[in-house]
């Protein structure tokens, strides 16, 4: 169950930079900031729950990796952030690291 908590924590980790970005690009600034704070809180809560049985170093690396790569792909697909082979290559290394930590 802790691995599911960690996945949920990583998904909420994507939510807070997304909320900050949307607070700068839409007229609903305070709503998106509230969404960001809500996402931060749930991300931290689920990370705390995941660390009951997952080692702290692995949990933190996976949590930030999910957040970083998820945010990168949201930026590419929805905000037209630059996409090139080197960005995709290094993002794939993060994903490989996440998978490796899960199975070791």
Read off the pLDDT of residues 26-53 as tens digits, 9 standing for 90 and up.
999 999 999 999 999 999 999 999 999 9
E strand or H helix that includes residue 62: helix 56-79
What pLDDT does 104 receive?
Answer: 84
Question: Which residue, 77, 46, 75, 85, is CA-closest to 62?
Answer: 46
CB 10 within 8 A of CB 62: yes
pTM for the structure as a whole:
0.91
**pLDDT band for position 14 (cuts 50, 70, 90):** very high
What pLDDT does 99 receive?
Answer: 94
- Give the model confidence (pLDDT) of 58-88 as tens digits: 999 999 999 999 999 999 999 999 999 999 9
């Amino acid at each position: 169950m802790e691995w599911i908590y960690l996945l949920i924590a990583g998904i909420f980790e994507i939510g807070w930079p997304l909320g900050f970005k949307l607070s700068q690009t839409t007229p609903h600034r305070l709503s998106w900031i509230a969404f960001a704070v809500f996402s931060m809180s749930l991300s931290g809560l689920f990370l705390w729950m995941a660390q009951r049985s997952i080692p702290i170093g692995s949990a933190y690396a996976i949590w930030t990796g999910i957040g970083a790569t998820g945010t990168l792909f949201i930026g590419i697909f929805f905000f037209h952030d630059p996409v090139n082979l080197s960005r995709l290559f290094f993002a794939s290394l993060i994903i490989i690291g996440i998978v490796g930590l899960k199975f070791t």
